[in-house]
Chain A
Amino acid sequence: MIDLAIQVGQTAKPEATLFWILAPLSVAAALGMLLVKKAVHSAILMAFVMIALAVFYIAQGAPFLGIVQIVVYTGAVMMLFLFILMLVGVDSSDSLTETIKGLRPTAITAAVGFGGLMISLLGRATLGRNAVGVEAANAEGNVQGIASLLFSTYVWPFEVVSALLITAALGSMVLAHHHRIQTRPTQRELSIQRFRSGSLANAAGLPAPGVFARHNAVDVPALLPDGTAAAASINASLKARGDVLNSSAFELGNIDTSVEEEK
């Protein structure tokens, strides 16, 4: 597979085909990242852009970086993003409404100017000459070439980077550390608190969803003895997502209790 990709990269025509298929797709995915509402969908589009970039790396004679891109970015970094998305959950920050007046037109105008400047400058940076290609530098193999540079010219930055990695790991541990201000209440204290509080409604715990609603789904509120829906029985995050089923069909007054006799 990688050999095939390297061969594709070395010949002119297939590489152009690869580029003109993948480049518009990755630009579309990047634009989609800005336009989709849910953060999870953005994460999936981001993973697509990263994989497309890995293919471009392999096509340009950097198979080591292409593999590292897939393993580190799509494998580790995107998984981290998805974990945090699961932890943080869904909230109002997903909405696409503009909070600062005139921000969007300004941002898009500035981006068009900036992008035009970058494209014109980068076009000049190649000086109009053809690419030398990394075939000569990769003669002993791409990994060997990078290793000999990394452990000779760049050995000092390499060591500094290891210190940076350790610092980052320590820093995130310090940030994630959580100091408890009060002592954790014991079960006995919690129980006493439940019975001494104003109402005894929650003394036996919150009602489970669906139990008295003739329905066993978690998105149906339980019914109280008088036939009304118990709002406390639904998980708050289900409510925030708007995934709650209307229980009025199951309420006592609306149930058809007539019995049809069979002959």
Chain B
Amino acid sequence: MNAANYLYLSALLFTIGAVGVVIRRNAIVVFMCIELMLNAANLSFVTFSRINGDLNGQVIAFFTMVVAACEVVVGLAIIVTIYRSRRSASIDDASLLKR
């Protein structure tokens, strides 16, 4: 099977994640879409590692996972802090800097 199919799948998932970040309003769903984009990038790292016959891509994907875990911890803490003060998880409501 042609390994490029995995790359096409990862491009598709990345695009779907990007659309989700733009059109959804719930901060948690937006965050999950960012995770989807990170996962799609990981899939292409693993596929490139297979195409080149080299484990470097897999190590990079491993590092991406660690960074994604850190990002989730801090991001969710920010969402909870905003929710505590504004009683809303909608990203449209956090517009204090606009005024």
- Measured in the bound complex, the distance between the Cα atoms of B27 and A114 in whole Å is 23
**A62 CB within 8 Å of chain B:** yes
Chain B interface extent, by class? 35 or more
Let me know if A99 and B92 touch, CB within 8 A: yes
Q: Which residues of B from 11 to 68 have beta carbons under 8 Å from A?
A: 11-20, 22-29, 31-33, 35-36, 39, 42-44, 46-56, 58-59, 61-63, 65-68
Shortest distance between the CB of A125 and any CB in chain B (Å): 7
Let me know if A27 and B50 touch, CB within 8 A: no
Question: Which B residues lie within 8 Å of A118 (CB)?
Answer: 11, 14-15
Question: Which A residues lie within 8 Å of B36 (CB)?
Answer: 30, 33, 46, 49
Q: Which residues of A from 154 to 187 have beta carbons under 8 Å from B?
A: 154, 157, 161, 164-165, 167-169, 171-172, 175-176, 178
Majority-rule SS of A interface residues: helix
Chain A interface extent, by class? 35 or more
**A252 CB within 8 Å of chain B:** no
A34-B16, A118-B15 known; A131-B28 Cβ under 8 A: no
Question: Which A residues lie within 8 Å of B71 (CB)?
Answer: 168
**A5 CB within 8 Å of chain B:** no
Question: Which A residues lie within 8 Å of B24 (CB)?
Answer: 34
- Measured in the bound complex, the distance between the Cα atoms of B20 and A111 in whole Å is 10
Q: Which residues of A from 126 to 151 have beta carbons under 8 Å from B?
A: 126, 129-134, 136-138, 142, 145-146, 149-150
- Measured in the bound complex, the distance between the Cα atoms of B54 and A5 in whole Å is 20
A30-B36, A84-B79 known; A146-B63 Cβ under 8 A: no
**B70 CB within 8 Å of chain A:** yes
Question: Which B residues lie within 8 Å of A137 (CB)?
Answer: 53-55
- Measured in the bound complex, the distance between the Cα atoms of B91 and A124 in whole Å is 37
**B73 CB within 8 Å of chain A:** yes
Select the stretch in A102-110, A200-208, A214-222, A225-233 that faces chain B. A102-110
Let me know if B79 and A88 touch, CB within 8 A: yes
Let me know if A146 and B25 touch, CB within 8 A: no
Look across to chain A and name the residue whose beta carbon is closest to the beta carbon of B3: A131
A19-B5, A80-B72, A172-B73 known; A31-B52 Cβ under 8 A: no
Let me know if B8 and A119 touch, CB within 8 A: yes
- Measured in the bound complex, the distance between the Cα atoms of B20 and A167 in whole Å is 29
**A210 CB within 8 Å of chain B:** no
Let me know if A73 and B39 touch, CB within 8 A: yes
Among the listed B43, B66, B81, B90, which residue makes an inter-chain contact with A56, where contact means beta carbons less than 8 Å apart? B43
Shortest distance between the CB of B2 and any CB in chain A (Å): 8
Shortest distance between the CB of B49 and any CB in chain A (Å): 6
Let me know if B72 and A88 touch, CB within 8 A: no
16 sample A-B contacts, Cβ–Cβ < 8 Å, listed by A number? A23-B5, A30-B13, A30-B36, A33-B36, A60-B6, A64-B58, A81-B32, A93-B25, A93-B26, A93-B93, A111-B15, A126-B4, A131-B51, A132-B51, A138-B55, A146-B58
